[in-house]
Chains A and B, each alone.
Chain A
Amino acid sequence: MPFLDNIEKIRTVEWGHTYLWDARFLNPEPPKPFNDWFPAATMDEDIFSLDSYAFDARGGAFSFPLRRGSIKKIDMTFFDDVNNTLLNWFETWVNEIIFNRKGSLVSPLEECVRQITIVRLDHAKQPVGNPRNYWVYPEGKLTFRGDSSSSIRSFPISLVIVGTIGNSTIG
């Protein structure tokens, strides 16, 4: 007999949807109007990263867990308002806080990071489980791109997770 033997098994599950999530920055939060919510349109949050050690031995190939994999990241695309509130906030974060001495030196990690909180939601828009809190800093480039269309301004950005706040360990 198949395991999934009738449609009712599927119908009785409340499946998760990709739009049921939310995020905000804390410590410090961005300026208003994005101080208590963040206009992220897409979010890719690494949950775990694990490397394997693979080897060939007599009789076949084998693999076993070796160590934590690459550094976990949060990749997101966010929108910004006409006042460039978030563009300016990220610019200040990197150019004045991380590069605190006019670009010649980098601040200690403790001063470079900010907290991001990500929650998964149910269909009633209520949080499911505990929020996930990370210490992050932006990596790579943030680029303003102008063109000749009427599209909303969107910015892709990659955030490196350097720590997890709560019951998880350093990422």
Chain B
Amino acid sequence: MPRITLDQIRAMGDVTQTFRWNLVVVKAPTSVPNFPATAAADLRIETSELPKKTGSSVEVTLKGHSVKYPGIYKPQGTLSFGFVETVDNVIANWFASWQQACWANNTGARVPKKDLEAVFQLQLLKNDDVARWQYTMKGCFIEDPNPGQLDSSSADPLKPQMTISYDDFTQGPL
């Protein structure tokens, strides 16, 4: 078979670009004040990982022959968001309130899981910015907030990061 041609590549269509995406807050926790709505969160989010499930395999070896079967597929379980903070403390309030719901200052108490978990959706967009694919994570809560890095020699914006934990996710076309 001959090597692919330039015209075949040109006819393949537009490629997916990594900057065309949205973060949607599908469900905010009921017991977390200051949880931003989609508009405020999506406006400030700069980077995101995508969820995935990692599988294991089961191997059967008999008299020299090996056959592998799919084993357990487990969600990676965590996802990292990167934000740009604004002076109205939207991200700082978000992190603080969510963490307080998960582990109250001084007492260590937390609210029931159903009241502190969120549902997020990451939407990937076509080149005309129409949503084409979604990942929806359920059972999300804040696991590792990183408020960012200060310095003395730049005017860069503060960029907090947050690792969220999720129970499972779905994916599919929109």
Contact = CB atoms under 8 A, between A and B. Distances in A.
A and B associate in one complex? yes
Given A7-B167, A7-B168, A12 B114 contact: yes
Interface residues of A, number: 7
Interface in A112-129: 123-125
A125 B109 contact: yes
Nearest to B103: A123
Contacts of A123: 109-112
Contacts of A11: 113, 138-139, 167
A125 B108 contact: yes
Interface string B122-137: 0000000000000000
Contacts of B139: 11
A14 interface: yes
A7 B170 CA distance: 13
Interface in A1-50: 7, 11-12, 14
B107 interface: yes
A124 B111 contact: yes
Given A11-B139, A12-B114, A124 B167 contact: no
B164 to A, nearest CB: 15
Interface residues of B, number: 12
Interface in B41-63: none
A125 B138 CA distance: 26
B110 A124 contact: yes
A124 B168 contact: no
A14 B168 CA distance: 17
A49 to B, nearest CB: 33
Given A7-B167, A11-B139, A11-B167, A125 B112 contact: no
Contacts of B138: 11
Contacts of B107: 125
Nearest to B116: A123
A7 to B, nearest CB: 6
Most buried by A among B113, B114, B139: B113
A123 B139 CA distance: 17
Given A7-B167, A7-B168, A14 B113 contact: yes
Nearest to B107: A125
A124 B109 contact: yes
Given A7-B167, A7-B168, A14 B112 contact: yes
Nearest to A125: B109
B128 to A, nearest CB: 36
Interface in A82-100: none
7 contacts: A7-B168, A14-B112, A14-B113, A123-B110, A123-B112, A124-B109, A124-B111
Given A123-B109, A123-B111, 5 more contacts: A7-B168, A11-B167, A12-B114, A14-B112, A124-B109
- What 6 pairs between A and B have smallest CB-CB spacing? A125-B109, A124-B109, A123-B110, A7-B168, A11-B167, A125-B107
